[in-house]
């Protein structure tokens, strides 16, 4: 499956409705971004059941700012609308393939329970 270009207009819908979504924040002038691109494209072809999207940070500066992108490439992963991974830097193919496997294997009920527990602790700390 080819990668999907994300913009301010389709970002939220893609994340919320896409199931498992990987997002590559990149720019055409960025050497490491261009080096990582074939690995990202190969992963998208090897995992057609997942969404692989790209955000051109030059074209989508507002979106990059909203996502606090300060270094590119930055790879993010979302599962069931929840951000589960974010890291700046080009990943070697075996590392990226391992990341895809780890995100695929995540137990989202456990992730949601962990988020709820953290929010509970945070709200108790603010209430004291």
Q: What is the per-residue pLDDT across 89-118, written as a single tens digit (0 to 9) for each?
A: 999 999 999 999 999 999 999 999 999 998
SS (H, E, C) 73-85: CEEEEEECCEEEE
The residues that are catalytic are: 30, 33
State if pTM tops 0.85: yes
Q: pLDDT tens digits, residue range 48-70?
A: 999 999 999 999 999 999 999 99
Any residues with CB less than 8 A from the CB of 78 and at least 6 apart, and which? 15, 18, 20, 21, 22, 23, 84
Domains in the chain: boundaries: 4-127
**Annotation: CATH topology of 4-127:** Glutaredoxin (3.40.30)
CB 83 within 8 A of CB 76: yes
């Amino acid at each position: 499956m080819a990668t999907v270009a994300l913009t301010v207009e389709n970002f939220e819908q893609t994340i919320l409705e896409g199931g498992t979504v990987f997002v590559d924040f990149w720019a055409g002038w960025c050497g490491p971004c261009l080096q990582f691109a074939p690995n990202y494209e190969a992963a998208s072809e090897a995992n057609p059941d997942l969404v692989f999207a790209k955000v051109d940070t030059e074209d989508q500066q507002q979106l990059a700012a909203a996502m606090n992108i300060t270094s590119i490439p930055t790879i993010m992963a979302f599962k069931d609308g929840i951000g589960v991974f974010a890291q700046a830097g080009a990943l070697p193919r075996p590392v990226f393939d391992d990341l895809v496997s780890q995100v695929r294997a995540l137990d989202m009920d456990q992730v949601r329970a962990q988020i709820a527990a953290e929010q509970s602790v945070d709200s108790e700390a603010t209430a004291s």
